[in-house]
Amino acid sequence: MPSLLKLGRIFLIIFLISGTITSILIKRKLEHSHSKNYSIFIDVDKDVDKKLIGQDISDISLKDLSGQTWFIRDINSQLKIIILFNPQDCPRCWQELILWKKIQNIFSPEEIFLIGIAYNSSTKEIMSFIKKKDISFLILIDNKDKIRKHLGLNSSPWRILIDHNNKIIDIQRPTAEISKYGEFMSRLSLYINENKFYKRKWP
């Protein structure tokens, strides 16, 4: 009969081999899923340069209404939805607020984190707008309009989706067509389900 030492070595070898195989399978799954993620949101707005898709915006930083600085990379979420807006945007553009509130109710902040970025607006104007629209997600201030300039976007509002690697995967103008909300929610659910095994090592 093999000694306990030999048995221990055999079990160790089996453990190491199985661990290596598992790591390879997970890596392939991640790569496969990552490539699919970019196909989930395919209806990029015709007015947007498609070269923006895949662009890393992790180093972008802005302050909130209390003066605290936020970096996009420090927001720990599988998916981030940035709403780039100005309080003077047309009322019809804000009908999608129904969708954003629904997203907040269905998904946790670790799954989907909503961020509003208000440009060229005073703090008083933004606070009044937040109260009027009953907005509860994070609002950042972009007084120098650097986000729109950085991305080459005109007018507003814009809905920008950022993946867990802080890369843009979709840019759209918010829609007032409620019939499209269900499809968008399905795409979000698909993205989250495909990435639920992804365990990011947060700083």
pLDDT tens across 18-52, in order? 545 544 544 454 444 444 444 445 455 555 667 78
110 and 35 both lie in a single domain: no
Once rounded to an integer, what is the mean pLDDT over residues 164-184? 85
49 and 128 both lie in a single domain: yes
76 and 19 both lie in a single domain: no
Report the candidate in 9, 33, 10, 13 with the shortest Cα–Cα distance to residue 21.
13
Domain count, the chain: 2
Question: In sequence order, which residues have a C-beta less than 8 Å from that of residue 151 and are 6 or more positions away?
Answer: 52, 55, 160, 171
Residue 84 and residue 156 in contact, taking contact as beta carbons nearer than 8 Å: yes
Q: Residue 127: inside a domain, yes or no?
A: yes
pLDDT in tens, 104-147: 999 999 999 999 999 988 889 999 999 988 999 999 999 888 88
Domain of residue 16 covers 1-40
Q: Residue 161: inside a domain, yes or no?
A: yes
90 and 4 both lie in a single domain: no
150 and 94 both lie in a single domain: yes
CATH number, position 112: 3.40.30.10
